Structures are given as structure tokens and as C-alpha cells.
Amino acid sequence: MGNLQPMITLHDISVRRESREILSITANIPTTGITAVIGPNGSGKTTLLKLLHGLIESDEGTYSPGFQELGSALVLHHTPLIKASVRSNLAIVKDSPTGSKISESDIDIALASVGLSHLKDQSALKLSAGERQRLSLARARLQKPRVILLDEPTANLDPSTTEQVETIIKNLALEGCGVIFTSHHLGQVQSLSDQVVFLADGQCLEVSNTENFFRHPQSDQAKNFIHRELGWK
């Protein structure tokens, strides 16, 4: 049976900074389910998210659908909040190009989906790190994207808050929104993702379903990375 999943197709993509290539990738990445982008520091993970979202352009190569057609929302590691209430930080999405389709009820539903309804009138700047991340996820959800791109969504969060964020990510996928996230926590990748994109030194070395990646990594770099990060002998 053929693979009928909708895909982001990247062909001979090259992104350079000055004279150095920081990302080189040819791959098909599903726009459904949950995809983890992993690899050592400096391997190009955040660059890939920014490319998919249209924050940067490739120097060579093609990808389809283009970022405008893809319809994505990006949550970077430090997403800025405005000096206003929690609810107002969501309501600003109504000022975006697609914001006219967002109702007041949509805002309330987005708040409830991340467990922040009781804090809607509080200043967003007084939120904890975990609450800020949940608010950022609600804001991304409210944009009704096909794909949400998350850069280290649980970095520096305690275990309880990490679990809350992971539940939100799972719910987004169950609602039909594709999720592509970067992570350094391979235990999280194993439990959360359906497929893995492995990068090393700016090169895409593997795209595989998660179980196969951890059981049968195809490259020496992936094998060494898994063994080092999980402490395998």
C-alpha cells in the first residue's frame, strides 16, 4: 500500500550563512501526526523550523507546499508576550491576516484547551514559564494552522509542567493538526513522536518512523547519538 500521508517535500535544500552551509536536506516530512527533529547542537534543527515557516529562505532547492500554502504556526523557545492580560495576548491573533475568522468563542476555547481560563484576566508577564508556554501553544492553535512548529517546547520545565505541555501536543495532533518539534530529550521523542528527522552537521541523515529509528538507526552518526544521549553501552 502506498504512503497516502500529506507531505512536505524538500528537494536539494541548502541554507547558507555567509560562506558556511548550515542546512542541507532532501526529505519528505509528514504534515500529520507528530514529527520530532533531533540531532546534536548546531545540526540545523531550528533552522529547519524557520525555513518551513518562511522566516528564512533557502539559497538553493525547492520545497512544496511553500510556507504560505503550508499554513503553519511557529513557537520558538522564547516567544514574546505583550504587556497585557492573558486573554489579550490571544486576542491579538485577530489582527493577523486570517484573524477575521476567529471569534471570541474561539479565544475562550483556546484558553480552556491549555487550562488557562482561570488566569485570563491576569497579566501575561506574571505567568510562570510553563504557563507562558501553554499560552504560546494556545496562540498557535488559535491560528488554525495545518502544522504547528515547536522549538524545544519543554526546555527548562519541571516534570509536571512538561507532562502538561506534552498532553497539549498530543491533543493538537488528535485534532488533526500536524506537529513538528525539536527536542534534546530522546525519552520524550520515543514516547511522543510518530516519526523522526535526524540531522547532524547540517545534513539530514535519516527520516524514519520513531520505532524503527531507535531500533535500527541507519547511520553511524545516529547510532552514536542515540547511545550517547540514552547512555547505552
Question: In this structure, which amino acid lies at residue 134?
Answer: R
Q: How many CB atoms lie within 10 A of CB 128?
A: 11
How confident is the model over 2-41, as pLDDT tens digits? 456 788 999 999 999 888 899 999 999 999 999 999 999 9
pLDDT at 87 (0 to 100): 94
pLDDT at 99 (0 to 100): 56
Which pairs with CB-CB distance under 8 Å and at least 24 residues apart come from 188-193?
Answer: 188/154, 188/162, 189/36, 189/38, 190/214, 191/166, 192/34, 192/36, 192/166, 193/33, 193/34, 193/35, 193/36
How confident is the model over 128-174, as pLDDT tens digits? 999 999 999 999 999 889 999 999 999 989 999 999 999 999 999 99
- Sequence spans of domains, the chain: 7-80+147-230
Over 50: is that where the pLDDT of 1 sits?
A: no
pLDDT at 100 (0 to 100): 63
Q: pTM value?
A: 0.92
Q: Which fold has domain 7-80+147-230?
A: Rossmann fold (3.40.50)
% of the chain exceeding 70 in pLDDT: 95
Over 80: is that where the pLDDT of 59 sits?
A: yes
Over 60: is that where the pLDDT of 233 sits?
A: no
Q: Count CA atoms closer than 13 A to 78's CA, side-chain side.
A: 1
State how beta strands 7-17 and 60-64 pair. Answer: antiparallel
How confident is the model over 73-105, as pLDDT tens digits? 999 877 788 899 999 999 888 777 665 678 889
